[in-house]
Amino acid sequence: MRLPRPVLIATVLTAATGSLLLAPHSATADREPPVREGAGREGTDQPTGAARAPANAARNALTSPVTDLSDSALAAPRRGYPREQVLSPDPENPADKSIKLGLTPYHAIAPKLNALQLLGDRVSVEVAGRSAGGHRLYLVTVTAPESARQTLDQERMRELIENAPQAAAKDPALKASYKTPVFFDNNIHGNEWEGTDAALGLIERLASAKDAETTDLLAHSRLYFNITANPDGRIAGTRANANGFDLNRDFITASQPEARAIRQIAIDKQPAVMLDLHGYVNGTLIEPTTPPHGENYEYDLFLKNTYANALGMEAAVNGLGYTPAKDGVEPVQIPFRDQQEGWDDWPPIFTPQYQAFHGAVAAHTVEIPLAVNNSEYDTLPVAELRRRSAINVDVADAAMRATLTYARTHRASIIADQIEVFRRGATGAAQVPVSAETVPGVPGIGPEDVYTTDFPRAYVIPAGGAQRSATAAARLVDHLLANDVRVTRATRGFRLAGRSYAKGSYVVDLHQPKRGLANVMLADGRDISDKVSVMYDISGWSLGRLWGATVVPVRSGGLSAVAARRVEAAARVGYVAPRGDLRLRLDTPQEIAALNSLLEQGVSVRQLADGSAVVPGSARARAAALARTYDVAFDATGQTRTTGGSPGTPLHRVRVAAAVTPGELFALREMNFDVVPVSTAVLNAGFDWSAADVLFVSSGLDHARLNAGAQAALDAFLHTHGLVGRGTVGAALNSAAGLLAVRPVEGNGDANGVVRVVNSGGPLTANAPDHAFVYAPVWFTDLGPGVRVEQAYAPGDPLVSGHWRPLADGTGGPTAAGGRAAVVSGPHAVLFGTEPLFRDHPKGEFPQVGRALLTVS
């Protein structure tokens, strides 16, 4: 049995030298409501790249991390490498799940990193941010020492590659001296541990190795290690972080601080090669993937490098000598070569797929072989778990070392390919379809592997009357900027492709280095139902359709006549009318959050028939504070209060009992709802329903599994209060309680994507977007008396982008849903067949749930 790698001896440095956070070059922080993330938590480190402050920093101040001076230095002049610092220790935690596996517990990481910095002049440590649970995220850089001037030269060359790729391709100094950035991301799923230990072992060897290959590697590379991307899950032995999120599904949305930290690393360090270490698939699974391939990549360059590097990793892993008979380890598998479908790189939500849009031309998920989590963790003997973990560390180490060999021996072509990615984007060059001719040396390329897209010339996010929601538009612009997408703002009105746009409209020119990222975020996407029979995860995600702003693709025409300036942050839209009562539109999560804050403060608010809220002029000062906090507009109503009262229905602060997914819980709190989580177990243990006003159910509550007392208490609550249900679980509870007379119909459970919808208007769906997101879609038929259709799937085939096939018997497909009710309501109940809060993503749909919760109670 192989033993775990030896534990580094913790060494305490005698003096702190501090660390420098590189000043980044263009992106800005997201516009995020200040409702839960980091609330009340002190000592949050400033993330890598935090020096990139938006032009309007005040808008983001409530969610910006706070510097922990015990771990990171204050802003200082640029320095070279190494950048050493003393990391303060974490309290010892004997409950850390890593310990049972013979691996490194989180509390031992800081001492190990302190010790590694003492081994020479190659290792630097930065704190890249904090996890949802407040734990530090450590980014280690390993490279040959650099003077301050050499570091500045590296930064200039990195900027040149992205911002002037044609010049970079011809720059002899860059070809001779630019250091290839290589990024290893570890432990993003908390109960897939071993990448962290492999990284620590590799850093230790690189820190002091004297061989020619290591010397050459570090002279021509910068190696970045995200030691544990998910410390919350590492400690708890869970896949998710402390907020319950699968972080390897959060890219593009970036709702979690860990994902935002990795995003900033991608922007600031611009890795050309990266690995994301996972488990457990036996034999070790190494991407590239099966179809469908992301259509916005420069896939010929990506496949060329990922396949070649995969072969090197395969040789290294198989070369360890582990066998199925002796060790239970199967030979490596490469999905592109060895599988037909089912392991795709279509969505940009996974770490390697997202990294590709920032210039990574070789980016892989690596699934190490031997399971030690879930049931295995609980049932296998400790000795067997440690045997497996030791093998997994060896496998992860072999994959890392092979990748370093690839980066060293192919340095020139890797950097040339990264430059070419950015050149194609900046110049609007055509994509190159993969084929045996365009990607020589990669066997088995067929028509099933060819995925390209028709890039628009630009996107316009209109201002003025053509914009559904100025608040949603500003949030979307800030999110694009946070992802390093370039945006300009028109300084005067203009016409483009036969359409007029107001001054202040935003333009996203697709002739930019990261056009693939801009397009993958804003485009509709594609219906790929006929391309493959099964997908690994979601297939549609369009921010242009789901985030609540009007976004117009421009297919043709030049932009030379558009007078515009590049922006670093969206212009503020917060406003309060100077007199009279105020009208707050409830079309965005921020507006729902602002309303809930007013209700919490005891302000008397009424809802109009169009779903908007009327706020008394006497609350103008409070409205002004919320307009600044949430960047929302309180317009004049055109009405004044009279002795006869005010129009509309009174609204009240509601406490929500919620049996929901973690993403939905997070979204509810983003809208500033007071939420108490419940479940079957919680209700069976005895729940005080007097503390709740409305119940939201989508997961984890089964009426049939409640004991008699819990059933009686729940039924009594539902017949006097409100229910908002989502999906089959919500519909089942509605049926059990005998509320709305409807028949729910389940579509294909594997279906997901962006769909067209038709809104009926009224307080729930007035001004709602005409697109929604579905995941295991549901629709409602046989509607009884008193049931109102609030939203229906568009007639015919409503699917715009995603993957939605009929079942084997022909039922459950999108045409069966066409024209059917997607959202229904009645006295004290609303049922959703769509997924309006999915993974905290479809921001434009959040207000439908918010309005429902406020009106059914």
Catalytic residues: 367
Helix, strand, or coil here: 697?
strand
Residue 37 · residue 670 · CB < 8 Å: no
Residue 184 · residue 274 · CB < 8 Å: yes
**Residue in the structure block whose two tokens are 């995941």:** 775
Residue 202 · residue 123 · CB < 8 Å: no
- Burial track 87-114 (b if 16+ CB lie within 10 A, e otherwise): beebeeeeebbbebbbbbbbbbbbbbbb
R_g of the chain, CA atoms, integer Å: 27
Residue type, 168: A
- Say which DSSP state 331 is in: P
Backbone dihedral angles phi then psi of residue 234, each to the nearest 5 degrees? -60, -45
- Select from 48, 190, 212, 231 the least CA-distant residue to 125: 48
Tokens of 30: 């997201």
Taken as a whole, the chain contains a residue count of 857
Tokens of 557: 């025409």
Distance in angstroms (rounded) separating the CA atoms of residues 689 and 710 = 10
Distance in angstroms (rounded) separating the CA atoms of residues 614 and 650 = 9
Distance in angstroms (rounded) separating the CA atoms of residues 628 and 188 = 35
Beta bridge partners of residue 615, listed in sequence order: 582
**Alpha carbon 657 to its chain's center:** 26
Tokens of 460: 């316009």
Environment class of residue 497 by beta-carbon count within 10 Å: exposed (0-12), middle (13-18) or buried (19+)?
A: middle
Question: Any residues with CB less than 8 A from the CB of 222 and at least 6 apart, and which?
Answer: 141, 142, 143, 154, 179, 180, 181, 182, 269
Tokens of 798: 């409503």
Q: At what angle do helices 620-630 and 589-600 cross, to 10 degrees?
A: 140
- Burial track 229-263 (b if 16+ CB lie within 10 A, e otherwise): bbbbbbbbbbbbbbbbbbbbbbbbbbbbbbbbbbb
Helix, strand, or coil here: 364?
strand
Taking every pair of C-alpha atoms in the chain, what is the biggest distance, in angstroms?
88
Residue 355 · residue 266 · CB < 8 Å: yes
Helix, strand, or coil here: 106?
helix
Question: Any residues with CB less than 8 A from the CB of 539 and at least 6 apart, and which?
Answer: 346, 347, 525, 528, 752, 753, 801, 802, 803
Backbone dihedral angles phi then psi of residue 216, each to the nearest 5 degrees? -65, -40
Distance in angstroms (rounded) separating the CA atoms of residues 67 and 769 = 39
Residue 836 · residue 592 · CB < 8 Å: no
Provide the Cα torsion 147, 149, 155, 156; round to 10°: -160
Environment class of residue 573 by beta-carbon count within 10 Å: exposed (0-12), middle (13-18) or buried (19+)?
A: buried
Laid out side by side, the sheet with 458-461 consists of 552-554, 458-461, 506-509, 488-490, 564-566
Environment class of residue 119 by beta-carbon count within 10 Å: exposed (0-12), middle (13-18) or buried (19+)?
A: middle
Angle at 611 between CA 758 and CA 827, to 5 degrees: 80
- Say which DSSP state 94 is in: T
Distance in angstroms (rounded) separating the CA atoms of residues 525 and 347 = 10
